[in-house]
Amino acid sequence: MALMSLGAAGYTTATAPPRPRRCTLPFRAAASPAALDRRRRPHNVAGDFFVDHRCIDCQTCRWMAPEVFKRVDGKAAVAAQPSSEEERTKALQALLSCPTSSIHTEKPPKDILKVQNMFPLPIDDKLLPGVYLCGYNSEDSYGATSYLVIHPQGNILIDSPRYTPKLANNIEKLGGARYMFLTHIDDVADHRKWAEQLKCERIIHSGDVEEATADVEWKLEGNGPWNLGTDFELIT
């Protein structure tokens, strides 16, 4: 099995945040510095879902819920409110996956816990069996996408999602992870927290090692590919 970049193009499923607060303010996926601007961008259409000014244009919401989110004036915005249960689920998955917690709802979503429990999301049981989207993208990785690959010789976590206990618990239900493959110098995010929680061995190319990854267990040399088990190749 060759592991290459699992592109997001064409994928139309979404991601999840923490428990809603009991307040009258718009629901927020996660806490962030008060100085950051949480106001609704004027480019959003009227309705429940909206994107604030902190969006970093990472595209996550636009490929997870393309029916709802579009790029307007250099950042994401809600171009159309969800018109079906499926679209609402995708929009909530995008809310949870947004690395800057820039997606909100005017009213606390009663179905947010159900959507949280969907992660990791199976990508395609026929074309890519055993490959899951982790969601919970991290701002530290500029919204890079993380995947979990189920393998009989030990599951592999591809890059680091934002660490959350809920996602960690769900990954453990799928068998945890034996390895974490950090594919790029910028996509390491919460790798230490995940390694501690899942007791997995981390892998990175020696050319991508920095102070934050100096303690990674495996450091690859050369141009590869490298074998991981009997039928799994790492390609950088």
- Provide the residue count of the chain: 236
Give the Cα separation of 23 and 193 in Å (integer): 30
Instruction: Answer whether 163's CB lies under 8 Å from 192's CB.
Output: no
- Position 20 confidence tier, pLDDT thresholds 50, 70, 90: very low
Distances (CA, A) of 62 to 13, 107, 169, 231: 10, 22, 27, 34
Domain residue ranges of the chain, discontinuous segments joined by +: 27-115, 119-234
Q: pTM value? A: 0.82
Q: What is the pLDDT of residue 82?
A: 98
Based on the number of CB atoms within 10 Å of its own CB, is 49 exposed (0-12), middle (13-18) or buried (19 or more)? buried
Question: Which residues, including other chains, have CB under 8 Å from residue 165's CB and lie 6 or more apart?
Answer: none
pLDDT at 117 over 50: yes
Q: Residue 30 — pLDDT band, cuts 50, 70, 90?
A: low
Percent of the chain with pLDDT over 90: 79
Give the pLDDT band (50/70/90) at residue 235: confident
pLDDT score of 161 more than 80: yes
Torsion of CA 100, 106, 108, 109, to 10 degrees: -80
DSSP SS3 for 132: strand
Q: What angle do CA 208, 210, 214 make, to 5 degrees?
A: 105
Q: What is the pLDDT of residue 5?
A: 38
Q: Look at domain 119-234 and name its CATH class.
A: alpha beta
Q: What is the pLDDT of residues 210-227, one digit of tens each?
A: 999 999 999 999 999 999
Q: Is residue 16 over pLDDT 80? A: no
Copy the structure tokens of residue 121: 């999301």
Average pLDDT, the chain: 88
Residue 29: the pLDDT is 54
- The one-letter amino acid at 51: V
CATH of domain 27-115: 3.30.70.20
Q: Reduced to 3 states, what is the DSSP secondary structure of residue 199?
A: coil
